[in-house]
Structure 1
Amino acid sequence: MPTNRAPARGSAITSMSFGHACVDIYQGAVAALVPFFVSERHYTYAAASGIVLAASLLSSVMQPLFGALTDRRAMPWLLPVSTLVGGVGVALSGLGHSYPLTLAVIALAGTGVAAYHPEAARIARQASGGSHTAMGWFSLGGNVGFAAAPVLVAAVVGVGGLRASPLLVIPAVAGAVLCGFAVRALGAGGVGASHAARVPGRNDWASFVKLSVAIACRSIVFVSLSAFISLYAGRRVGGDIAGTAALFLLYLGGAVGTVAGSRLAGRFGRVAVVRWSYVLCVPAVAGVVFVPGPLLYLFVALASAGLYVPFSLHITLGQDYLPRRIGTASGVTLGLAVSVGGVVSPLVGSIADATSLQWALAPLVALPAIGALVLCTLREPARLEKTPSVAGPSANSPRQEAR
């Protein structure tokens, strides 16, 4: 008689959500560290945005590669190991004054983050049975980590300076423990072979490419705002606290937006919800760039909602467009398309150095509109009816029904 694994899967999703929060602290921490690099090391906008590029460049290339690897063989051990690698990279970034060394350790952090996400998304998808709500909770964990990053960095680096950055490794240790618990709860310790052939359905590469273009537009807006909103709000409103509050608000909206997105998708459909979220971003980003004073925070909150509501829906849409390449889909939607923003951020910094930060951010208003137009050509994909076991194929492991 098969064993009921629902309690184990529920606890695994919970652990993975908290573990995801610990990992994504290190994505948010890079942007949160930028003002401290500017103030303590006197970096220019272009040099500071190069830090963001270092975190994103390797990640943008490596996440799809790790995704392709997990399509061939399950690697659940990557979750705790990559969490530690990401944390160590950020923790070392404040030591010394060498710009190349800082770029190197930030790139190490980006590699850890790259290794984590495709396998984590694959395991979360399979553990959840394809549930929008469960994947929403998994994505929420990452968004909470983003929101916590500026607060954590302000508490550690704002008080002790960049030399206190080694303390930032603590969430990585906690995250590694949580990921290890999730893998153990799911019985995912073994390494399986390729599972792509066991999944029904056909890959819709054309729709997946269109979705990736829209995600790239969203990424450029989000990463550029993440990198510069602290500096921009500090000057538009006044004070370092004002800048930290704006970055925190930008990330905090993810907590509400991700949960709202999964619920709205159940009622209106994922493609429609994603499309209208991009439409909302157009006036919201315009308000962030052009509206002065405290009213800026309202538009930051609206932009955050528009950017985060589609976040978990991007993942499940990508996985459903490529049902036989879930690891690849996760690597691109969470990696390559998302990391494009980090690649573009030095250009934004260079424009800011040559003109002003406001003029550098102004072109961001057009990108959500482009994304919305691309999304108008997409249709809702068919949902997967079954998902393979977490550890890969096994003659004794029943497939889980999608909810």
Structure 2
Amino acid sequence: MATLTHQESATAEHVVITDGARKTFITMIVAGIVVLALGLVAAFMGWGEEHHAAAGHAAAAGHDAGAGASAHHHGSPNWLKRVIVSLWHSNVFFVGISVVGTVWMAIQYVAYAGWSVMVKRIAEAFSAWLIPGAIIMVVVFGVSLLNHDLFHWTMPGIMEKGSENYDAIIAGKSGFLNLPFYVARMVIYLGIWIYFSKRLRDLSLAEDLNGGTAYFHKSITVAAMFLVLFAVTSSMAAWDWVMSVDTHWFSTMFGWYVFASWWVSGIAGITLTAIFLRQNGYLRFLNEGHLHDLGKLMFGFSIFWTYVWFAQFMLIWYANLPEEAVYYNQRLGGWEGRYTWMFFFNIFINFVFPFLGLMTRDAKRQMIILKIVCIAIIVGHWSDFYLMLMPGTMKGDNGFLIEIGIFAIFAGSFLLLMTRRLASAPLVPLKHPFLDESLHHNT
């Protein structure tokens, strides 16, 4: 009888998004617009760009040298190109975090995990960004084609022998890198992610209404199908949306690398949301055991990201093949070292800081430490995507004001949509078969 009482009190929770919370999210968007405007003014005035042209010509030897010069000459003005690249950068990052919410749910289903039921609805809410993210992605890609600001392989004539833009290496990839197939793949990836996110959400809400275990078992089947498809589509999305920016370069580990960055950022987002809810009087049964498990996942997958990062770097460094090493030469000294500090910052904030911060058992059970580490991980992996995309697109003409402004706009918009979905259903699944296990979870 005591257990039933616990369940009833837990399932009565509904999040109310206060005007104050909405104002905070809107303030983030407005602040982002202000920073973006400052960045655009700085770009118009040319502040800090005196040596960019020289730096661009001093790029890593041989890698898309003609391509970089051509793209820079024929592309959009610097400010517009930075806006387009930054929109792509932040949207790819947030779309990844959004789908990780569904991946998280799917893994919990197929693993028959009970402890995570307490934060399940948070993961469900993350997919609220997928549809607007998909629209933004298609639109930004279409706009980028006007001046080929994102992907050099879209340049006219680049795959045609005899053309002044002809590139034999890129032409050899024309079977994969061609516009109809590329756009079709993009739509298929996003369509699969949106469909399965909605399917799992609908089953979860139907379970709340009708009870029983039928919805749970159906969700396991749907989750298993999704995970198989996601394993393929996430890697291919990483090749298409990020790796094909550096068209000559490739890495067989890159799909895992991008997934690891998305995955640990998503876990940090789920953890941070759970903590804020708990501190505002919700999730009354979220205890140190849940926090500890979330902390262990962030700790473990920060190490996993580092493992993939190091394996990719070490093999390329050791082989020292020019067509592979150029990727790291650009980031470790290319363009007068514009990205060198960020290369090392990336390792510190995404590995050293989470590793030291979450090393002890007590640290994983302290909300304040988890909040700091979560924020560091999200900022760190946004900068990780910055480092993946900017050298191949902006060359030495990169900056930060426009990029940070757009990130703040995306973050505020994501939070508005995510919290609205979070408020549209009970915060804890009403009739999940493992609810009692989660209520009494401890480690």
**TM-score interval w.r.t. the shorter chain?**
0.3 to 0.5
TM-score by length of structure 2 reads 0.31
Larger C-alpha radius of gyration, 1 or 2? Answer: 2
More helix by share: 1
TM-score by length of structure 1 reads 0.34
Bigger RCO of structures 1 and 2 (CA < 8 A, at least 6 apart)? 2
